[in-house]
Amino acid sequence: MKSTIIALAALFFMAFGCKKDATPKSDQDTVEVVQTQAEATGDKTIGQEEVMVAEQGETKIETTDQPKGRVADKDQLVLQETEANKPKKPAPVDNGQSGSVKFSEVAQPKVKPGSVDTGDVYAPGNTWNYVTRIYQNGELTKTVNTTQIVAKREGNIVTFKEGSQFKIDGDKVYELQPTRMGAKIESLKYFVPKDGYEEYRTMIGGDAVAMATAKSLDTSVELKSGSYPDCIVFRNGAGQVHYYSPTKGLVKMEQGKPGDVYYSIQELVSTNF
């Protein structure tokens, strides 16, 4: 009987000892593997440490010191663009544009508003000789015409031989246009623009109002009759372009463009003053 009790006690001791050895240690539940980020990602320029933690059959990636722009999320690294990494856009540049005209490109005229008295230009007896070429439907018509101031009356109103009338006011020239009612109305025709460029209202046929522009040129108008500096280009609502010199009057006029069905160009040939 005694030997039987000793045998049973030995068997119990052996069974209890094996069970205790089979129980895993608590510090073996988690295995930490330390790798450098350069080894994990292949990026030789970062070199931050990453800890790969194996737990419950899953793999997680944690960073001990995450670099800017990288976020660790389970088994992949997501590259995010931060404000510091975004390319900076250039600041907008103010080019001084107003409407369709860049004032930085407009020449500053040598002739300033109010500095020219065109009274000598529009004196009685002054004569302008022009040659006009008209291209219409592929045919050219060439004419030579002369205009002359034949009278000047009170109010600085001058009359040309063909009947048109201008009113002179310093460097401003107004055209007197007849209206349907028979009376005449003053329409601004030529002047020296402020700051090299101006938009203004003008009359067409004495009844219609149209927008027009005046722009000073920084180069001379070159014609066979000579070189004309300080000219101003006037574009009116009728599609005409006038090249005007404050000291010589109208030196060139165009309507339409070369290649159009109708295109005319008038150029100054000579004057007597």
Give per-residue pLDDT as tens, 59-77: 344 444 444 444 444 444 4
Q: Tokens for 260, please give them.
A: 């159009």
Q: Taking all residues of the chain, what is their mean pLDDT, rounded to a whole number? A: 73
Percent above pLDDT 70 for the chain: 58
Q: In the beta sheet, which residues pair with residue 146?
A: 129
Question: 255 vs 48, which has greater pLDDT?
Answer: 255
Q: What's the mean pLDDT in 41-51?
A: 42
Residue 45, pLDDT score: 41
Residue 8, pLDDT score: 54
In whole angstroms, give the CA distance from residue 178 to residue 182: 6
Residue 7, pLDDT score: 54
Of 227, 199, 229, whose CA–CA distance to 215 is shortest?
199
80-94, 208-222, 242-256: least confidently modelled range? 80-94
In whole angstroms, give the CA distance from residue 31 to residue 106: 77
Which residues contact residue 69 at a Cβ distance below 8 angstroms, ignoring those fewer than 6 apart? 79, 80, 81, 82, 84, 85
Work out the pLDDT band at 89, boundaries 50, 70, 90.
Answer: very low
29-33, 93-97, 140-144, 244-248: least confidently modelled range? 93-97
Residue 239, pLDDT score: 87
Work out the pLDDT band at 118, boundaries 50, 70, 90.
Answer: confident
Q: How far is CA 149 from the centre of its chain?
A: 46
Residue extents of the structural domains in the chain: 32-75, 101-271
For residue range 140-173, list pLDDT tens digits in order. 999 999 999 999 999 999 999 999 999 999 999 9
Question: 118 vs 223, which has greater pLDDT?
Answer: 223
First CA to last CA distance, the chain: 157
